Chain A
Amino acid sequence: MTDSSPVGSNRIPANPRRDDRTPGGPPIASIELPTAVPLSVYDLTVAYHRKPVLWDVGFDVPAGTMVAVVGPNGAGKSTLLKAIMDLTPRASGRIHVFGDTYRRNRHRVGYVPQRESVDWDFPIDVLDVVTMGLYGQIGWCLPVRRKHRLAAMEALEQVGIADLAHRQISQLSGGQQQRTFLARALVQNADLYLMDEPFAAVDAATERAIVRILHTMKDHGKTAIVIHHDLQTVPEYFDYVVLLNMRIVAHGPVEVIFTAENLQKTYGGRLTLLDEVTEAMRRRERSL
């Protein structure tokens, strides 16, 4: 188990296969796509009310990596995840999941939304929420069966809250809510996980539980793309990083890309020209 205090102590042994990858290379969406690539984003642009949120975003994610998406507030991190899953319309760009469209490979993608995105007073229990991860496999109109509940129980055991299975969800603490969501993603048994700030405001025990699960996922050759805020722990928890601030600032293996200079570009160097043109567009629209 990784301790959360020393930064980057296990970097090298955790990533033995680093050398044969080309860090930060061009997106390969334009050439023949191997189905082994879990996610390939090419030229993605997303705008809300004409205001661009993501510009020309492109990157590939190698299989079996834990990827941190890092960037300041409003950098479009959540939008990126939503655009990958077709939850947000995109102005342009292509997204390939295991070499095909998201729609075709939807069953291979698990999503862990932000904890605040749902109503925790909803009258259901923890097991119900976890079972929802299986609804896709169960299919339209068919009922939840015993085997599904058993699978959900197993996932709850993995995240260490099996004893809370029959609690109503309003009685959970923040960390327990996050574990519930994680169990729901685990039960989907996906190959690519998209997680929106799973570490936000959780207790130390939950943080360790999440890290442990990420490690297990990696050991099983799964890929996770995780929006992460705590820069301190990025080198320790992840082996690949995407630095995002409306555009991709840099992406690649943590030890190559996660540098002070790149972080400065991501957080400090605001894209002033883009901001200005956006503002000009909005003024123009209002005056019309």
Chain B
Amino acid sequence: MMFGSFAWDWALDGWIVTTGILCAISATLLGNFLVLRRMSMLGDAISHAVLPGLAAAFLISNSRSSLPMFIGAVIVGILTALFTEWIRGIGKVDEGASMGVVFTSLFALGLVMVVQAADHVDLDPGCVLYGAIELTPLDTIPVAGLSIPRSAITLSIVTLINALFVSIFYKELKISSFDPALSTTTGFHAGLIHYALMTLVAVTAVASFESVGNILVVAMFIVPPCAAYLLADRIGTMITISVGIAVASAVLGHISAVVVPTWFGYHSTSTAGMMAVAAGLIFVLSAILGPRHGIFVKLARRHALSWRILTEDVISLLYRLRERNDATIPNRANLQAMLLTGNVATRVVLGWLTHRGDIRSTVGCYQLTDQGETRARSLVRSHRLWEQYLVSLAGGTVDRIHDKAEQLEHFTDRQLRERLDAETETPQIDPHGSHIPPEK
């Protein structure tokens, strides 16, 4: 594979991307439940707070990648969740604030310790943030004749554990996230499930910390699940999509880390950083294109609404013209002038109404059909009932109610009209003196 001057090397790039994907999947799987429980920050907090645990274990055992180091860090991670609860209880501050207190203190403590340690052992404070995913292929362990990077093995195990956890306890995670009280009363102690989840969050954070740094795991806990939340309306779909996004961000992130900077004449940049950026970009895309909350969909809905309103305005105008025996010839030019719309919009709307059978044209003049007549009468009735309602019950003045009624008539169905009619005591004429047409 070639990307400009970049040649894909399976032994290097293959492992870097694999490590990134494993980290992304393991974090995203748990992250879905963090997002759904509205405790996204806790993933962030725990991934920062494990640092002093790592540093302490490192200072004591003087080596990296030892089991005590791992366990020490996980314990500190779980303590973060406990401390957060505790400070919220005694300090009477909200969860965000207490989390902020706990994890910044712990992270700062960790940084101090790392800087101390860096003087006499090989630990780089810079690596803490963005990790050294580019170096993972260099630290390998022979497994079944292949030399596999150590971090890839660790992260595969973590991914496997997380995948098993989510699939075995799917039902329990679902109920305790949606309704913790019900969960506890039906025998699935919500607190227990919470701490099981937090333990795995800490394990994932620690396992990722050293190889891919802090930034990637923080991003992957939150960003893919959030993007998936915008795209899916079922939890199963959301998890599946989030894993897809996680994988895509890892692949795209690495490629763009190597390729994009060369376009601008720079050397390649941090892969882990770029993976997080890629996830962020995918989130932006989901926010724009999402089917439920997407910006495009909202725009489209607004457009559809304004078209509907225009068609309704046309037929109620035709109704009113006929009602007052107006001499204006209802041809396209006159209708367009009265509705203050554009040429194209008028053509489209008249075409659509003709197609739907609400109007018909005879020698350029438009007339309501029976079907159109019924629709138009309902609209005019809604409009005038609203005017009556606004004046008699809402204290509106006669000269200022038209615009309001003009808006409301488009959102008034038969049921609402009946209630308006009852509340205004079945008026015959509206405040302007116009006859209110009967329902049918």
Whole-angstrom CA separation of A155 from B229 in the bound complex:
29
Interface bracket on A: 20 to 34
Q: What's the A-B contact tally at a CB cutoff of 8 Å?
A: 77
Chain A residues 85-135 with CB under 8 Å of chain B are 85-87, 106-107, 109, 111, 113, 117-119, 122-125, 128-129, 132-133, 135
> When each residue 232-246 of chain B gets 1 if its CB lies under 8 Å from chain A and 0 otherwise, what string results?
111101100000000
Whole-angstrom CA separation of A129 from B229 in the bound complex:
18
CB pair B186 A119 closer than 8 Å: no
CB pair A122 B169 closer than 8 Å: no
Residues of A near B174 (CB, < 8 A) are 124, 128, 132
Known: A122-B178, A123-B233, A125-B234. A138 touches B36 (CB 8 A): no
Known: A119-B38, A135-B188. A113 touches B234 (CB 8 A): no
CB pair B181 A119 closer than 8 Å: no
Residues of B near A135 (CB, < 8 A) are 171-172, 175, 183, 186, 188
Whole-angstrom CA separation of A69 from B186 in the bound complex:
23
Q: Which of A59-67, A139-147, A267-275 contacts B (4 or more CB under 8 A)?
A: A139-147
Residues of B near A143 (CB, < 8 A) are 171
Cross-interface CB contact of B181 among A113, A138, A142, cutoff 8 Å: A113
Q: Is B185 interfacial (CB-CB < 8 Å)?
A: yes
Q: How far is the CB of A287 from chain B (nearest CB, A)?
A: 17
Number of residues in B with C-beta < 8 Å to the partner?
Answer: 26
Residues of A near B182 (CB, < 8 A) are 111, 113, 132, 184
CB pair A87 B181 closer than 8 Å: yes
Residues of B near A111 (CB, < 8 A) are 181-182, 185
CB pair B181 A117 closer than 8 Å: yes
Known: A124-B234, A168-B233. A119 touches B185 (CB 8 A): no
Residues of B near A136 (CB, < 8 A) are 186-188
> When each residue 212-254 of chain B gets 1 if its CB lies under 8 Å from chain A and 0 otherwise, what string results?
0000000000000000010011110110000000000000000
Q: How far is the CB of B159 from chain A (nearest CB, A)?
A: 20
Q: Is B184 interfacial (CB-CB < 8 Å)?
A: yes
Whole-angstrom CA separation of A174 from B106 in the bound complex:
44
Q: Is B168 interfacial (CB-CB < 8 Å)?
A: yes
Known: A123-B234, A124-B235. A132 touches B175 (CB 8 A): yes
Chain A residue nearest to B187 in the complex (CB): A136
Q: Is B370 interfacial (CB-CB < 8 Å)?
A: no
Whole-angstrom CA separation of A111 from B186 in the bound complex:
9
Residues of A near B235 (CB, < 8 A) are 122-124, 128
Chain B residues 24-44 with CB under 8 Å of chain A are 36, 38
Chain B residue nearest to A85 in the complex (CB): B185
Known: A113-B181, A135-B186. A144 touches B232 (CB 8 A): no
CB pair B234 A168 closer than 8 Å: yes
Chain B residue nearest to A110 in the complex (CB): B185
Indicate the member of B36, B186, B238 with the most A CB atoms within 10 Å.
B186
Cross-interface CB contact of B178 among A109, A124, A138, cutoff 8 Å: A124
Cross-interface CB contact of B171 among A118, A125, A144, A184, cutoff 8 Å: A144
CB pair B233 A87 closer than 8 Å: no
Chain B residue nearest to A185 in the complex (CB): B182
Residues of A near B238 (CB, < 8 A) are 123
CB pair A141 B169 closer than 8 Å: yes
Q: Is B179 interfacial (CB-CB < 8 Å)?
A: yes
Q: How far is the CB of A187 from chain B (nearest CB, A)?
A: 11
Whole-angstrom CA separation of A122 from B184 in the bound complex:
19
Cross-interface CB contact of A119 among B178, B187, B234, cutoff 8 Å: B178
CB pair B175 A106 closer than 8 Å: no
Residues of A near B237 (CB, < 8 A) are 123
Cross-interface CB contact of A132 among B36, B169, B178, B184, cutoff 8 Å: B178
| Interface residue ranges, A against B (CB under 8 Å) | 82, 85-87, 106-107, 109, 111, 113, 117-119, 122-125, 128-129, 132-133, 135-136, 138, 140-144, 168, 170, 184, 188
| Interface residue ranges, B against A (CB under 8 Å) | 36, 38, 168-169, 171-172, 174-175, 177-179, 181-188, 229, 232-235, 237-238
Closest 5 CB pairs of A and B: A136-B186, A168-B233, A123-B235, A111-B185, A118-B179
CB<8 Å pairs between A and B, sample of 14: A109-B185, A113-B181, A113-B182, A117-B179, A117-B181, A118-B178, A119-B36, A122-B177, A123-B36, A124-B174, A141-B172, A168-B233, A170-B233, A188-B186
